[in-house]
Amino acid sequence: MNRIIDYENLSNEIQRWIENYVLNNNIKTLVIGVSGGIDSAVVSTLCAKTGIPTIAVGMPLNSKLNNTTLSNLQLEFLSKLNVKTVEIELSETFKSFETLMSQTFKSELANANSKSRLRMMTLYHIATVTSGIVIGTGNKVEDFGVGFFTKYGDGGVDISPIADLYKTEVRELGRYLGVPQEIIDATPTDGLWDDDRNDESQIGATYEELEWVMEYGINKISHTEKEFKVLQTYQNFNEKNKHKMVSIPIFDLKQNEII
């Protein structure tokens, strides 16, 4: 991306934005899930730097070793910033649910989404107990471009500090914040599947390509063959996942007056 950003100023502005929300809404704690990815690493670090009591939660759930290693690395990093860190192992809890549901409603996709929703439930349980809010970790491409998140899973949050930042910008902000280099360099993955698929292989385009579409490609008059293919990929995901990115439809009694 070519957006010129002062990352020191950006970091300060996001922290002030979080602080103002907390002050205006009488919030006591910030609760955030730490997956081992760059997005949650950046957001959790920003939360820590506000000085507001923050609870960072690792939630292994049949997780790959590398994901757990990176999550633990970020939790260790946060512990040095006076953040309360906890790990809640959800594998056995999910196994019971999966066994029950597979008797009648067996689906690999449903299982992947349910993993994300179980993590969301865990975070909200902690937030309720601690008078806190759940902090979102979605970036601009995922939240407003291709809808690459689980509805009422990782999309179930109270505020979203980096939802107007592209993935490449999140990485640069992470670099400024001192996030561990291993996390910055890691291949983005949602960690919801039993195989080794990652975000970009599921989407069929890189984050950089999707960012180009969102900034320039949609309004461009003519495209190369490669550009057109990426544009189609973006449009297909955007249309398919539109229901995640717009308000829930509400029946309007005035517009549907019954006589």
Question: d(Cα 171, Cα 134) in Å, to the nearest integer?
Answer: 22
Give the pairing type, strands 84-87 and 132-134. unpaired
Q: Which CATH architecture has domain 7-196?
A: 3-Layer(aba) Sandwich (3.40)
pLDDT computed for residue 63 by the predictor: 87
**Strand order across the beta sheet in which 29-33 lies:** 84-87, 54-58, 29-33, 132-134
Closest listed residue to residue 170, CA positions, set 140, 200, 136: 140
CB distance 130 to 171 below 8 Å: no
Give the pairing type, strands 54-58 and 29-33. parallel
Residues of the chain with pLDDT under 50: none
CB distance 158 to 134 below 8 Å: yes
- Residue 141 DSSP label: I
Classify residue 151 as exposed, middle or buried by CB count within 10 Å of its CB (0-12, 13-18, 19+): middle
pLDDT computed for residue 258 by the predictor: 62
Question: d(Cα 41, Cα 99) in Å, to the nearest integer?
Answer: 32
pLDDT computed for residue 191 by the predictor: 79
pLDDT computed for residue 1 by the predictor: 61
Could you give the residue ranges of the DSSP H alpha helices within the chain? Answer: 7-24, 38-50, 65-79, 91-102, 108-129, 140, 167-177, 181-185, 199-203, 207-215, 225-240, 242-245
Question: d(Cα 35, Cα 74) in Å, to the nearest integer?
Answer: 9
3-state secondary structure at position 131: coil
Question: d(Cα 222, Cα 213) in Å, to the nearest integer?
Answer: 13
CB distance 188 to 198 below 8 Å: yes
pLDDT computed for residue 2 by the predictor: 67
Question: d(Cα 32, Cα 57) in Å, to the nearest integer?
Answer: 6
Question: d(Cα 180, Cα 46) in Å, to the nearest integer?
Answer: 14
Q: How far from the centroid of its chain's Cα atoms is residue 137's Cα?
A: 4
Kindly list the domain boundaries of the chain, sorted by start residue. Answer: 7-196
Residue 33 backbone dihedrals phi, psi, to 5 degrees: -80, 135
pLDDT computed for residue 178 by the predictor: 97
